[in-house]
Structure 1
Amino acid sequence: MADSVAINFTNPSTFILLGIPGLEMDHVWIAIPFCTMYIIAILGNFTILFIVKREPSLHKPMYYFLCMLATTDLVLCTSILPKTLAIFWFNSREIDFSSCLTQMFFIHCSLAIESGIFTAMALDCYVAICDPLRHSTILTNDMVAKIGLAVLLRGAVLALPCPLLAAQWPYCRTNVIPEPYCTHIAVVKLACADIRVSSYYGLFVLFCVNGLDVIFIVVSYTQILRAIFRLPTKDARLKTFGTCSSHLCAILAFYIPGLFSSLMHRFGQNVALHFHVLISSLDLLMPPMLNPIIYGVRIKQIRGRLFRLFTQKLN
């Protein structure tokens, strides 16, 4: 199929998504863990939203940010996995050019929003630990809403040029994308034009989103750790650190694979293609699955509410 579409054309009406090149014979089996991750992500994130909505004691800034994170994770995995599973199970590889650009927007927008939410959660941890007496006056419901809106707008504004840039390039080599979804760099690599503008913009977004957010998070946690180490007893230090440990685990699960995947995408020319695609896919799909597990296990209030919910059902 790849050879039949690798012909000269200008504005393609469709792209062909190969899935995981080189592992086509194993797509049916690879789809099983992908489908499992999707089910866990859907159930886990909807559970977080349901518990926070039902439990008045959880109507606090940290849990509002957690609901924003859960909603973003649902959008991210739903924009990727249904089409990916259709490729793996039904060999449905074609995707409309406009649909490809739409998917690209939602992927990059969701990633930028998720990074912004982690930054907002770092701010919440910083205020709660370093200035607890003013926490309720600084992070009011109105302020949380404004932060959420700012994060949403930043993600949308930074992600929108990606499909707009991809739409302007002529595609006269091939319309075959060696991945199961449309990302900015994967699509523009197919263009028969100088795509340095797209490449530079992708690096700019990477720095403006992940780079600046990571700097802010590192500064916040530096101050948090300094405040924790000033506490008088070991038990107090451990208890205080435990309040932000789930957030720290989720941050590491999001940024470290994402940075590795982004660098490999641009500079890992000697990496096997199927390995690269697998790592990139896991980088996108693992956080939506892991986040509700991390927060559900680590946060006592959510764990307790979930336990009560199950016991009520059993009784």
Structure 2
Amino acid sequence: MDLRIFTEPQQGASYDTLLAVAKATEDLGFDAFFRSDHYLKMGDVDGLPGPTDAWITLAGLARETRRIRLGTLMTAGTFRLPGVLAIQVAQVDQMSGGRVELGLGAGWFEDEHKAYGIPFPKEKFGRLEEQLAIVTGLWETRLGDTFDFRGTYYDLTDSPALPKPAQARIPVLIGGHGATRTPKLAARYADEFNMPFASVEDSERQFGRVRAAAEAAGRGADELTYSNALVVCVGKDDQEVARRAAVIGREVDELKANGLAGTPAEVVEKIGRYAGIGSRRLYLQVLDLSDLDHLELISAQVQPQLS
């Protein structure tokens, strides 16, 4: 089971804070540092000092780290034109020496679009499908060839399809709860399917849909990696769990029901349940980015029990 650190900077984090977390992620032996792609805070927080851009952040981290994978859960398709996104991600992949992964979603938070003047189209899923075709198509076009695309939402003509990523293939992540269109899209384009903030039972059902869709599309179901994203709140004892829960404004019982919360032994037991349904990777949503001791505890007392 891979453990990856997943951050929500729109809730309030500077680049320097994210850099500190990314370096701790690398030093403590975690597999990857991922971040959300949002421009507006959610809930009762001040969000200071304000938003940071996902791909600018990852470009900086690409030069400041050496081992960990870097990526997004999920880049909002509404924020970027697909040709521009393909260039951005390929460049950051080059800057990292081939450590980037692209999680791409349709975009959903209308208020942040209004706050920053970003169009919020009614039909987002069809746009997402075309974006995936374009981004992957540009990367896969052979040097010297050109790429053309005619769609409902995007047209590309005689694109040189440059630059190329450092990796032969940048892993693409698709995720979500949709029962029909999402599994089909994952079966066509994804290297990894991520189920965010879901129970073991709901994850098992959705993984089954994706596996069936992959087989219907002529792929082996095991060609995809299956993963979960869950809020994490671990303490060496009940008192420390309660303290960390209070800092992020959550109740312990709710966190235990809906996330990975409790003592290391409790968290390892729950991780085992996700592993039992085929999840091979967990994105640990860390909400208090100032608490690096939290990451140290997970590294020392949870991670060694998962190998």
Q: TM-score, normalised by structure 2?
A: 0.24
| Structure with the bigger percentage of strand | 2
| Structure with the bigger percentage of helix | 1
Rg larger in 1 or in 2? 1
Q: TM-score, normalised by structure 1?
A: 0.24
